């Protein structure tokens, strides 16, 4: 069977990339008026997705010839018999910068089709189907949007468009000590500048009642307990460790080092619920406690902790707040998120994420890791950027180099930033 795709140089890069991968005849021709596809004498025209679908059907149903033709100027034709890398290099040279991102998407299109040929280099989400994916971008409103956030936001948008799916922008504001309405507004402004528009803007605080019920559910099922183990004062506790292996540890550090369960871990359900209620009331006794999940002995994650500072959305309604390790997986599942994109600094917590959902009897969520973005001679830590702003070392949040506002103030266009992010890849 002969399959030939004739494209107008940089036009239809998705289809061009798929054609190359399927070893079809591919011709770049500046003289044509419309990109055409010919399979066994039958012609196809139309939207790029239609041509990609036809190519995919051809690949699944029958073998195609291995010859590849690329005409880069008019009727001048060059034949390539080398490796796919040679043809790919020609594609990247011919296509313009905008087509580069689209070329990457073409690889993912083949990943979605299930082709083993393409899966070795394709970028896609595990178990994803078009129209059945929900992603989310969950910034904490504790600072201005910076270039690190931009990568996460752009990747979420990338997959939302690829799978024709829903993108949730959710503010993960569970620590009133650091969060402000000002930061929430500027994050939305920064996303707008980047051309990123979520289908829904949500807040973790919208689910505070539900999260409280889930915490009670964990306690009643014996999967969480109230803990007040001291972590401030050295306890001078005996152990059999070699001399100088560790210093004089606090009781909590001692228990974690030696894998010893907290003395509070086996408290009764009634005792734990009573302590949780004192936490919710914000009493002096309640401030001593936190709620931990019974997931591990060396590092049992905190589920709820107290904070008497008014929340910027719920005011003083609550004195207890869920932690990120608890709220994030719970709300992801509740909101219908199918794939949670997280930087690989959280990879060690992926098992904890899954176990938390299991303990809550909630629907599991797929996790997709991507690399954290770092730069030399600049900062991406919001804590450190806060220090620069608070100490007056910079004029404001539009002054630091890595913030989206700072980047624009220095003349870098949003399109250039977008192209830079897409060219980095996810890993």
156 CA to centre of own chain: 6
The single residue of 140, 179, 184, 255 carrying the catalytic annotation is 140
- Across the range 237-256, mean pLDDT stands at 81
Q: What percent of the chain has pLDDT over 70?
A: 66
The model's pTM: 0.67
**Which H helix or E strand runs over 43?**
strand 42-44
Q: Which residues on adjacent β-strands are paired with residue 320?
A: 306
Separation in Å, CA 39 to CA 5, 36, 61: 9, 10, 12
Summarised one tens digit per residue, pLDDT across range 338-353 is 999 988 888 888 889 9
3-state secondary structure of 53: helix
DSSP label at 367?
A: E
372 is catalytic: yes
| 67-94 average pLDDT score | 36
Exactly one of 382, 401, 405, 418 is catalytic; name it. Answer: 382
Q: Which residue has the higher pLDDT, 286 or 192?
A: 286
Task: Report the distance separating Cα 83 and Cα 78, nearest Å.
Answer: 15
> How confident is the model at residue 59, as a pLDDT?
54
Lowest mean pLDDT among 72-76, 138-142, 418-422: 72-76
Beta-carbon contacts of 13 under 8 Å, excluding residues fewer than 6 positions away, are 91, 95, 99, 102, 103, 106
- In the prediction, which pLDDT does 134 show? 95
User: Is residue 382 annotated as a catalytic residue, yes or no?
Assistant: yes
User: Which of the residue ranges 325-334, 370-379, 395-404 would you say has the lowest mean pLDDT?
Assistant: 395-404
Burial of 80 (0-12, 13-18, 19+ CB in 10 A): middle
Specify burial of residue 318 (Cβ count, 10 A radius: 0-12, 13-18, 19+).
buried
Rounded to whole angstroms, the Cα distance separating 267 from 191 reads 46
Q: Which helix (H) or strand (E) holds 228?
A: none
Angle at CA of residue 80, ends 74 and 82, nearest 5° = 160
The reported pLDDT for the residue numbered 15 is 63
What distance in Å separates the CA atoms of residue 273 and residue 3, rounded to the nearest whole number?
A: 69
Within 22-83, where are the H helices? 48-61
The reply to whether 180 belongs to the active site is no
CA distances from 296 to 89, 223, 224, 230 (A): 50, 11, 11, 18
How much is the average pLDDT of 282-306?
A: 91
Where does the pLDDT of residue 400 fall: very low under 50, low under 70, confident under 90, or very high at 90 and above? low
Domains observed in the chain:
3-119 (no CATH), 134-207+328-424 (3.40.50.620), 220-323 (3.90.800.10)
pLDDT attached to residue 85: 41
Residue 334 is predicted with a pLDDT of: 97
Which residue among the candidates 264, 265, 372, 409 is catalytic per the annotation?
A: 372
């Amino acid at each position: 069977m002969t399959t030939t795709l004739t494209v107008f140089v940089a036009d239809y890069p998705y289809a061009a990339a798929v054609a190359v991968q399927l070893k079809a005849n591919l011709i770049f021709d500046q003289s044509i008026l419309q990109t055409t596809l010919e399979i066994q004498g039958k012609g196809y025209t139309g939207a790029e997705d239609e041509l990609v679908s036809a190519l995919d059907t051809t690949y699944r149903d029958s073998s195609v010839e291995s010859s590849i033709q690329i005409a880069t100027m008019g009727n001048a034709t060059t034949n390539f018999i080398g490796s796919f890398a040679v043809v790919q290099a020609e594609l990247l040279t011919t296509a313009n910068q905008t087509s580069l991102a689209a070329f990457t998407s073409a690889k993912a299109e083949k990943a979605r089709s299930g082709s083993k040929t393409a899966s070795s280099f394709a970028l896609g989400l595990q178990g994803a189907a078009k129209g059945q994916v929900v992603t989310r971008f969950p910034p904490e409103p504790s600072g201005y949007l910076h270039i690190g956030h931009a990568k996460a936001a752009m990747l979420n948008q990338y997959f939302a468009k690829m799978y024709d799916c829903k993108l949730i922008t959710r503010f993960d504001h569970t620590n009133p000590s650091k969060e402000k309405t000002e930061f929430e507004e500027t994050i939305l402004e920064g996303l707008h500048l980047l051309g990123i528009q979520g289908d829904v803007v949500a807040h973790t605080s919208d689910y505070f009642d539900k999260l409280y019920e889930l915490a009670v559910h964990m306690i009643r099922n014996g999967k969480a307990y109230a803990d007040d183990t001291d972590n401030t004062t050295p306890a001078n506790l005996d152990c059999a460790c070699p001399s100088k292996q560790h210093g004089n540890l606090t009781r909590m550090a001692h228990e974690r080092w030696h894998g010893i369960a907290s003395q509070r871990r086996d408290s009764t359900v009634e005792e734990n619920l009573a302590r949780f209620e004192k936490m919710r009331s914000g009493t002096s006794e309640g401030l001593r406690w936190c709620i931990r999940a019974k997931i591990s002995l060396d590092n049992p994650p905190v589920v709820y902790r107290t904070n008497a500072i008014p929340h910027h959305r719920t005011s003083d309604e609550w004195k207890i707040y869920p932690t990120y390790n608890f709220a994030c997986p719970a709300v992801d599942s509740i909101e219908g998120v199918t794939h949670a994109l997280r930087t690989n600094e959280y990879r060690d917590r992926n098992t904890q994420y899954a176990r938390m959902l299991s303990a809550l009897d909630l629907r599991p969520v797929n996790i997709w890791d991507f690399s954290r973005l770092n730069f030399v001679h600049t900062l991406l830590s919001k804590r450190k950027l806060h220090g620069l702003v608070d100490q007056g070392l910079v004029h404001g949040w539009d002054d630091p180099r890595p913030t989206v506002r700072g980047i624009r103030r220095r003349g870098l266009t949003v399109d250039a930033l977008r192209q830079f992010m897409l060219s980095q890849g996810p890993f």
